[in-house]
Structure 1
Amino acid sequence: MSRQDRKEDEVRRMLETRHPAVPADLAARAAEHGTRLLRRHRAVRRAAWLLVVAAAIAFAIWAATAEPWMTPPAKTTPPLEGW
């Protein structure tokens, strides 16, 4: 008997046996669990967007005050010749 046949026989035996009893409140518990998961995912998504917006505002304030696009002033002056 091959491995495939053995697995098929085992599945058939499992399907022929009596199925276990399902709790009466299983659907209600599953729905409640799903609601909690959705609420948690929504809160995480909102927190992530809040973090992105805060980072963008912080970057805009830093860019406005530091003006990184401007060249820094020269540290030394060029020598004066011809005086």
Structure 2
Amino acid sequence: MNRSGREAAARRIMEQSPPRVPPELYADAVRRGGRLLRRRAAARRLLWLVLCAAAVAFTVWALTVQPWAAPPSRTTPPVTGREGW
């Protein structure tokens, strides 16, 4: 089929009336779409909840452990000034 034949076939298809859609299909599509939106909203809320819980847990851990502070020395400093013995 050459280009003009394809164009003519495309025009015939576009000029035809659209096929009839069953009436219950619209209701099914609306119901599924609403369910999909509710699931996405619930997933988004759950992810925000997990993110906030992780931030609180990290904050509590950081305040109790204080990883920014230097660890205490495990050895005693050398004794200087033995003259006093």
Superposition CA RMSD, Å? 2.2
The residue aligned with 1:43 is 42
- Between the two proteins, what is the percent identity of the paired residues? 49
Task: State yes or no: 1:13 paired with 2:7.
Answer: no
What's the secondary structure of 1:25's corresponding residue? helix
What letter corresponds to residue 54 of structure 1 in structure 2? A
Gaps in structure 1 of 5+ consecutive residues: none
- Runs (4 or more) in structure 1 with deviation over 6 Å come to none
Rg bigger for which structure? 2
What is the count of residue pairs matched by the alignment?
Answer: 82
Gaps in structure 2 of 5+ consecutive residues: none
TM-score when scaled to structure 1?
0.78
Q: For 1:2-81, what aligned pairs fall within 5 Å after superposition?
A: 3=3, 5-17=4-16, 19-81=18-80
